[in-house]
Structure 1
């Protein structure tokens, strides 16, 4: 084996350099996401730079530059065989990206998508299709109010966006399940470590609608549709330079928020605010385990109120 490696040392070095080169190209051309949970797709052109003098980078800046392309072409002309691993690596990356959901700017394939009723237009065309499921919830929970729930979701949406932008994710603790909170925290930590800030400005919630109520195991769920518009871009904390996105043009986003609550928990008719523990009413102070520090109740599992367990992007456009 050692003798074979010595005889083919030159060819192995070429393969190693090729792998590093293709890997770098893949990283450069990979899509970039932002907004709470990295949902806005900058690479789709939906929030690309308008070419302003602020120094913002457009989605095209992630493509391979002409000089690198020229070197690659000269390399291929000398060694045509390298096209084989290049094609294989790019094909693997393409398939992996599709398996992860493809372009997140488009409607994603989910259980609703398989039924052909996931997009907003399908729901709007059948306004009574999901209302029937809410009757079941209202029978079990007479104090439940669509208006109150929509108001709660709108409040959560604004608070999450601001906590993300201000890098104070502990403020989002009351609103998300443990798993979602920790996932978003890891994503936000990457912005902090790289000294970047995802600016989310001029936030407008265009519409919020409860789509469906259903139960599974010991928990009950609500799917809530949110249409919003905001300006989304990433800046360098040290010099304020815009790195991604467009600070002068808003992006329109449509989401499905999945809320979860333990079955049998009634709506608090006193409408306890998000700043108070839904169990004891004390000023809300939740530790890293998701417990109220006053009454030791687990707040973020949905034992007392609706919390966010999943965010799905339905569409994105300017």
Structure 2
């Protein structure tokens, strides 16, 4: 009599190591859970787990101490939780990779890899003001519970679990959630690709322009609040008429109402010195990306010290 058999199709020593880890986790968790409720009088385990050469884990009861009605639900619940954790930790990325390959077969291999990377970023999230990590942990726990619940129900009718088949043809709710993540990631991938293409276009436009200003000092106060000064720290008045198309492109594509990029392109400086207290802000990185080696970011000069008082003139 087998309580359950888990068969995994794996290749390589790394994946074999994962299966061995799964066996150890199963043995530990099931023992802990059994001891919470019951244990045999001799203190011996009520089951044994064997790892076969074909990467199959077999769980056998120790008879006659083991009682299916009494101990079965405890065993299956604990095992379902561990296998669910294993799927999320080690198989989730591979599942998404297969889903992306089928759904977006017309995309290049590089683009599919980028979509997978965006999908993983969506699942991993970001640490927003200290709350992100807690959200990621809670979301992972919820996904694991969805898998564990279906797996517990599955073992009530079938003791053989083919991991590849189970993750491919079962887990409809879980797979649907992954599919929604992939679709969202695709949107982000397309936006990122359009952004890069747009940046390349602006870089080419800047390359073709003649230099109009020797040096421009760009003072960044906060958010997207910028002021341009010439080499003598005199304010620059920018005429956008000649570059109306570029200005419209920037406002439309990047939603920058202050038009700082359009202004910089219009004055076409040989050198840009950006005075800012937040050099890692996205708009600063964008300026550096477009104007490349023309840009120097400064945050410690005497003029930068005046940025502490928002709107202070240099």
**Global fold match (TM > 0.5):** no
Highest CA radius of gyration, 1 or 2? 2
User: When you count helix as a share of all residues, which structure comes out higher?
Assistant: 2
TM normalised by structure 1 equals 0.27
Q: Relative contact order: is structure 1 or structure 2 higher (C-alpha 8 Å, sep ≥ 6)?
A: 1
TM normalised by structure 2 equals 0.27
